[in-house]
């Protein structure tokens, strides 16, 4: 069936005329150009039943309005429908014809006013843009039902353009979210090489990049391309590694692509389509089922237009039924006239998928409501006077009224336009599935809305879950497989971000397959770096080997000291014990017992009280111990250096020893009290020294307080050592000053060694070094001072006599 683009294919007179531009034919024959004669008319072929249904829907809507008593009463609407043949040149001729009536006039001049008040169409973005270049000058409103290019939302360039289909800006973003939803991060794209495909794909690639989806290849084809270009594009798709193909194609390009795909046996791909072809019934046939079954894409929501199916044209009877009223040898059957159109399934009579047709329906009603408001039609006025008709309708007023329309269709759908002339973006996610009979059906598996309060949102229903789990074609389309736990993605040079290598995470980091992230301060990574686990808390405990050994040595020292105390108490009346100053000896043994028990406060989990107790107890007990030794040493020195009588010296020595012990100890107590009041020690989680564990230790609070306390003990020890060294040559059979010298030598050596070891030891070993120093110095004092005496008391009792203990200086016996 051939058609001309020069004259309207369908027309009817009316008070208001609405123009229509549809791609009723899909092929165009270009005439030979001549510079001597008028150019020939463009001839179109290959009828497009879907587009013809759009034109018929427009006529049906106009008839409904003409029969309505509430919308434009006493005003009739006419129409002029032109065939654009899906090309820009016929579209430009069509709009010229709509504006001026018949394009070719006898006097070859244009009339002064447009013959139409609004134009419905065209179906292609490029054709619509070409029409707007002409109609926009005269501000004739153009309402497209199928032109989705986001560029048409530019109000500055197209102030008189409206559409009843959402902009591709939203569809492209919806497709990007869809492929991300299914984890398809590696896709190929093919587009129409026109405004529709180029602008839509540009938005998709930008949105896909934001979603972390990469494009392996991008091919562009046009219905006018030579066959080798289409062949090259399909070969690139076939050779690609992406298993998902996003096809942003108009129907014309989709047809030629599918034919070439069949020739090259292009199968095994998941197709994601745009609204232009995803619900095209002429593609859902067995011929293409091996390629397109399982396709996904966004479509306009379908609706039902009551009465449309009964309003079809009889002139298409033969083409639809496949019969002829006239007898021809190549016709398989003759029409009897009793066939039923509704019994046949074809793109013209199929009104089960009224999506774009409904957009045409809405566009016609939008024009009618705009004219109704502009003519001030009222429902309460008599029918003959209901609209104030004027012959001089201004196009600017029509555009203004269209911008403000807001009405509800009988189906309940709301119709209005935003500031850019666009409707609310609502899509239905369609999946091509086979029914039990084996036919391909368009099944809604989700939706996408851009007008919800929380922004754009992709909503999947239960059928999408069922399809995804049961579909044998469900692909796995990635450039690189996700990294295993414990590895992160590393970009490969000159490759998209979706192509990466996997590198192991560092210690203390976990991965979520894309990057490594450090665990919180008190957590550490497990062995496979898949999750953060609490760090091991380290402190010197009683149950571990080192803690148990130190505890045993501490108790052994305390027990030994108590045993010595019992021995001294048993032999307290003997000359040796008396010569050793029994009171100071018992006090010294008591303090040594505390010194041995003091390390127990350093073992175990540090708490606020244990931190304050351990250091202060250590300082005071050791100060008391050294004070007792200092008093004994001081007494020995005074006894052997003094020239006073023995009785006088005895009277002065005892009070001096008590004062020495008390004053030296109280001074340490004062230091510790000030330390606790100003900056006491407290429990502290040390995460800086060891990254993989938490060292639970006591913070000194004030290092000055600690070193002042420790330095004071050292000062007393040095003083004892000096005094004992001066009295080391006392002429008696039991020279206690000599043993005190040895004990202080050991004491000072232990604590001088302690300082560098304490500073450099990590974690719990810091506490262990401190305990070693306490135990070592305590055992040194116990062994050097009391072991010789216990030896005489227990093993050499014959030497424990007054005569034996007397030396040249008799006063020593009474010290």
Q: What is the DSSP string of 401-455?
A: HHHH-EEE-TTS-EEE--TTS----EEEEEEEEE-TTS-EEEEEEEEEES-STT-
pLDDT tens per residue across span 754-781: 777 777 777 778 888 888 888 888 888 8
Q: Which of 170, 162, 166 shows the shortest CA–CA distance to 144?
A: 162
* 187 vs 748, higher pLDDT: 187
Lowest mean pLDDT among 69-73, 661-665, 668-672, 811-815: 811-815
Mean pLDDT of 414-427: 93
Token pair for 223: 């219905």
What is the C-alpha radius of gyration for the chain, rounded to an integer number of angstroms? 51
C-alpha 630, offset from chain centre = 71
pLDDT score recorded for residue 814: 40
CB atoms within 10 A of CB 27: 16
Which secondary structure element, helix H or strand E, spans residue 501, and what is its range? strand 500-504
pLDDT score recorded for residue 369: 94
User: What span, in angstroms and rounded, lies between the C-alpha atoms of 458 and 450?
Assistant: 9
Exposed e or buried b per residue across 507-521, where buried means at least 16 C-beta atoms within 10 angstroms of its C-beta: ebbbbeeeebebbee
User: What span, in angstroms and rounded, lies between the C-alpha atoms of 676 and 462?
Assistant: 68
SS3 string, 66-132, reads: HCCCCCCCCCCEEEEEEECCCCHHHHHHHHHHHHHCCCCCCCCCCCCCCCCCEEECCCCHHHHHHHH
* 159 vs 535, higher pLDDT: 159
pLDDT score recorded for residue 692: 82
Mean pLDDT of 275-280: 90
Which residues have a Cβ under 8 Å from the Cβ of 523 and sit 6 or more positions away?
A: 532, 533, 534, 535
User: What span, in angstroms and rounded, lies between the C-alpha atoms of 128 and 359?
Assistant: 15
Highest mean pLDDT among 107-111, 306-310, 645-649: 306-310
User: What span, in angstroms and rounded, lies between the C-alpha atoms of 563 and 550?
Assistant: 20
Task: Based on DSSP, count helices (H) and strands (E) in the chain, helices before strands.
Answer: 22, 28
Highest mean pLDDT among 114-118, 163-167, 545-549, 583-587: 163-167
Task: Decide if 216 contacts 186 (C-beta within 8 A).
Answer: yes
693: confidence class by pLDDT, cuts 50, 70, 90 = confident
User: What span, in angstroms and rounded, lies between the C-alpha atoms of 388 and 251?
Assistant: 44
User: What span, in angstroms and rounded, lies between the C-alpha atoms of 394 and 400?
Assistant: 10
Residue 362 pLDDT greater than 90, yes or no: yes
Q: Which of 335, 300, 303 shows the shortest CA–CA distance to 320?
A: 335
User: What span, in angstroms and rounded, lies between the C-alpha atoms of 402 and 359?
Assistant: 15
What size, in residues, is the chain? 815
Task: Decide if 661 contacts 625 (C-beta within 8 A).
Answer: no
531: confidence class by pLDDT, cuts 50, 70, 90 = confident
192: confidence class by pLDDT, cuts 50, 70, 90 = very high
pLDDT tens per residue across span 598-621: 989 888 888 888 888 888 888 899
Task: Decide if 532 contacts 519 (C-beta within 8 A).
Answer: yes
Task: Decide if 583 contacts 635 (C-beta within 8 A).
Answer: no
Strands (DSSP E) contained in 687-796 are 693-699
Collapse the DSSP code of 656 into the 3-class scheme (helix H, G, I; strand E, B; otherwise coil) and give the result.
helix
813: confidence class by pLDDT, cuts 50, 70, 90 = very low
Q: Percent of the chain at pLDDT above 90?
A: 32
pLDDT score recorded for residue 252: 86
Q: Are strands 523-525 and 516-518 parallel, antiparallel or unpaired?
A: unpaired
Mean pLDDT of 807-812: 43
Q: Are strands 523-525 and 244-248 parallel, antiparallel or unpaired?
A: unpaired
Q: For residue 813, what are the CA distances in angstroms to 219, 237, 373, 654?
A: 114, 112, 131, 13
Q: Which of 732, 712, 710 shows the shortest CA–CA distance to 804?
A: 732
pLDDT score recorded for residue 806: 59
Where residue 85 falls (left for φ over 0; alpha for ψ -120 to 50; beta otherwise) is left
- Cα torsion 348, 350, 354, 355: sign: negative
User: What span, in angstroms and rounded, lies between the C-alpha atoms of 520 and 535?
Assistant: 10
Where residue 72 falls (left for φ over 0; alpha for ψ -120 to 50; beta otherwise) is left
Lowest mean pLDDT among 81-95, 530-544, 724-738: 724-738
User: What span, in angstroms and rounded, lies between the C-alpha atoms of 148 and 273?
Assistant: 14
Strands (DSSP E) contained in 110-213 are 118-120, 142-144, 161-163, 186-192
Residue 133 pLDDT greater than 80, yes or no: yes
Residue 583 pLDDT greater than 50, yes or no: yes
pLDDT tens per residue across span 214-272: 999 999 999 889 999 999 999 999 999 999 999 999 888 999 999 999 999 999 999 99
Lowest mean pLDDT among 60-74, 286-300, 509-523: 509-523
Mean pLDDT of 127-147: 93
If 0-12 CB within 10 Å is exposed, 13-18 middle and 19+ buried, where does residue 768 land?
buried
Q: Are strands 214-221 and 186-192 parallel, antiparallel or unpaired?
A: parallel
Task: Decide if 107 contacts 127 (C-beta within 8 A).
Answer: no
| Cis preceding-peptide flag for 51 (omega within 30 of 0) | no
Task: Decide if 164 contacts 366 (C-beta within 8 A).
Answer: yes
pLDDT score recorded for residue 475: 85
Q: Which of 240, 241, 237, 252 shows the shortest CA–CA distance to 291?
A: 237
C-alpha 12, offset from chain centre = 59
316: confidence class by pLDDT, cuts 50, 70, 90 = low
pLDDT score recorded for residue 106: 47
Average pLDDT, the chain: 82
User: What span, in angstroms and rounded, lies between the C-alpha atoms of 137 and 133?
Assistant: 7
Mean pLDDT of 663-676: 90
Token pair for 763: 């974690």
User: What span, in angstroms and rounded, lies between the C-alpha atoms of 409 and 426?
Assistant: 16
- Cα torsion 119, 122, 128, 133: sign: negative
39: confidence class by pLDDT, cuts 50, 70, 90 = low
Residue 435 pLDDT greater than 60, yes or no: yes
Lowest mean pLDDT among 55-69, 237-251, 683-697: 683-697
Q: Which of 680, 685, 709, 711 shows the shortest CA–CA distance to 612?
A: 680
pLDDT score recorded for residue 733: 47
Q: Say what the pTM is.
A: 0.65
pLDDT score recorded for residue 334: 66
Task: Decide if 299 contacts 427 (C-beta within 8 A).
Answer: yes
Lowest mean pLDDT among 113-122, 330-339, 446-455, 504-513: 330-339
Q: How far is the first Cα of the chain from the last one, in angstroms, to the nearest whole number?
A: 140
Q: How wide is the angle at C-alpha 84 spanned by C-alphas 79 and 87, nearest 5°?
A: 160
CB atoms within 10 A of CB 125: 28
Partners of residue 503 on adjacent β-strands: 488
């Amino acid at each position: 069936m051939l058609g001309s683009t020069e004259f309207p294919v369908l027309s009817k007179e009316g008070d208001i005329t609405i123009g229509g531009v549809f791609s009723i034919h899909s092929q165009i024959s270009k005439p030979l150009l001549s510079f001597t004669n008028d150019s020939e008319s463009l001839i179109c072929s290959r009828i497009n039943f879907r587009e013809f249904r759009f034109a018929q829907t427009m006529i049906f809507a106009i008839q409904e309005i003409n029969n309505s008593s509430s919308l434009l009463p006493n005003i009739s609407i006419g129409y002029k429908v032109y065939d654009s043949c899906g090309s820009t040149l016929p579209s430009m001729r069509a709009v010229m014809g709509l504006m001026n009536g018949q394009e070719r006039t006898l006097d070859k001049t244009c009339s002064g006013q447009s013959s139409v008040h609004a134009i419905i169409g065209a179906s292609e973005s490029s054709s619509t843009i070409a029409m707007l270049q002409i109609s926009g000058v005269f501000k004739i409103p153009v309402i497209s039902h199928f032109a989705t290019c986001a560029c048409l939302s530019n109000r500055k360039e197209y102030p008189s353009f409206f559409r009843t289909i959402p902009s591709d800006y939203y569809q492209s973003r919806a497709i990007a979210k869809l492929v991300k939803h299914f984890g398809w991060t590696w896709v190929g794209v093919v587009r129409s090489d026109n405004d529709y495909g180029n602008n839509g794909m540009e938005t998709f690639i930008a949105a896909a990049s934001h979603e972390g989806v990469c494009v392996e290849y991008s091919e562009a084809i046009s219905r006018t391309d030579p066959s080798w270009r289409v062949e090259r594009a399909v070969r690139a798709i076939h050779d690609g590694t992406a298993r998902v193909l996003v096809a942003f194609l108009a129907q014309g390009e989709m047809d030629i692509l599918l034919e070439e795909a069949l020739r090259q046996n292009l199968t095994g791909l998941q197709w994601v389509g745009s609204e232009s072809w995803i619900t095209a019934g002429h593609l859902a046939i067995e011929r293409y089922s091996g390629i397109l079954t399982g396709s996904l894409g966004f479509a306009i929501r379908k609706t039902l237009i009551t009465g449309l199916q009964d309003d079809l044209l009889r002139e298409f009877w033969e083409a639809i039924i496949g019969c002829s009223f006239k007898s021809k040898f190549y016709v398989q059957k003759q029409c009897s006239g009793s066939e039923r159109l509704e019994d046949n399934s074809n793109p013209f009579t199929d009104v089960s998928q009224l999506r774009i047709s409904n957009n045409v329906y809405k566009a016609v009603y939008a024009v009618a409501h705009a004219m109704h408001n502009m003519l001030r039609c009222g429902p309460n006025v008599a029918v003959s006077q209901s609209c104030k008709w004027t012959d001089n309708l201004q196009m600017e007023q029509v555009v203004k009224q269209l911008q403000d329309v807001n009405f509800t269709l009988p189906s309940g759908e709301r119709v209005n336009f935003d500031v850019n002339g666009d409707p609310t973006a609502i899509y239905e996610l369609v999946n091509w599935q086979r029914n039990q009979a084996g036919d391909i059906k368009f099944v809604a598996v989700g939706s996408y809305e851009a007008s919800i309060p929380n922004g754009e949102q992709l909503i999947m229903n239960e059928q999408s879950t069922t399809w995804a789990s049961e579909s044998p074609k469900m692909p796995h389309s990635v450039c690189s497989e996700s990294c295993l736990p414990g590895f992160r993605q590393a970009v490969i040079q000159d490759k998209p971000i979706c192509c990466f290598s996997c590198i192991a995470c560092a210690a203390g980091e976990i991965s979520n397959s894309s990057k490594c992230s450090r665990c919180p301060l008190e957590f550490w990574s497990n062995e496979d770096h898949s999750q953060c686990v609490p760090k091991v808390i380290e402190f010197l405990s009683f149950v571990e080997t080192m803690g148990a050994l130190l505890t045993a040595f501490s108790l052994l020292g305390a027990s030994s000291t108590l045993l010595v105390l019992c021995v001294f108490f048993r032999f307290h009346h003997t000359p040796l014990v008396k010569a050793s100053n029994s009171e100071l000896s018992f006090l010294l043994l008591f303090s040594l017992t505390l010194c041995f028990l003091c390390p127990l406060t350093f073992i175990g989990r540090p708490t606020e009280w244990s931190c304050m107790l351990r250091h202060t107890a250590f300082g005071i007990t050791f100060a008391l111990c050294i004070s007792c030794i200092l008093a004994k040493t001081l007494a020995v020195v005074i006894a052997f250096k003094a020239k006073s009588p023995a009785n006088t010296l005895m009277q002065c020595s005892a009070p001096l020893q008590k004062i020495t012990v008390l004053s030296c100890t109280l001074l340490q107590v004062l230091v510790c009290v000030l330390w606790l009041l100003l900056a006491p020690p407290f429990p502290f989680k040390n995460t800086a020294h060891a990254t993989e564990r938490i060292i639970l230790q006591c913070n000194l609070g004030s290092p000055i307080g600690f070193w002042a306390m420790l330095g004071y003990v050292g000062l007393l020890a040095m003083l004892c050592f000096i005094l004992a060294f001066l009295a080391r040559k006392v002429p008696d059979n039991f020279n206690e000053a000599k043993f005190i010298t040895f004990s202080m030598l050991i004491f000072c050596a232990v604590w001088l060694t302690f300082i560098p070891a304490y500073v450099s030891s990590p974690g719990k070993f810091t506490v262990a070094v401190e305990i070693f120093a306490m135990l070592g110095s305590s055992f040194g004092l116990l062994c050097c001072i009391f072991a010789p005496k216990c030896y005489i008391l227990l093993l050499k009792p014959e030497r424990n006599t007054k005569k034996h203990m007397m030396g040249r200086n008799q006063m020593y016996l009474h010290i």
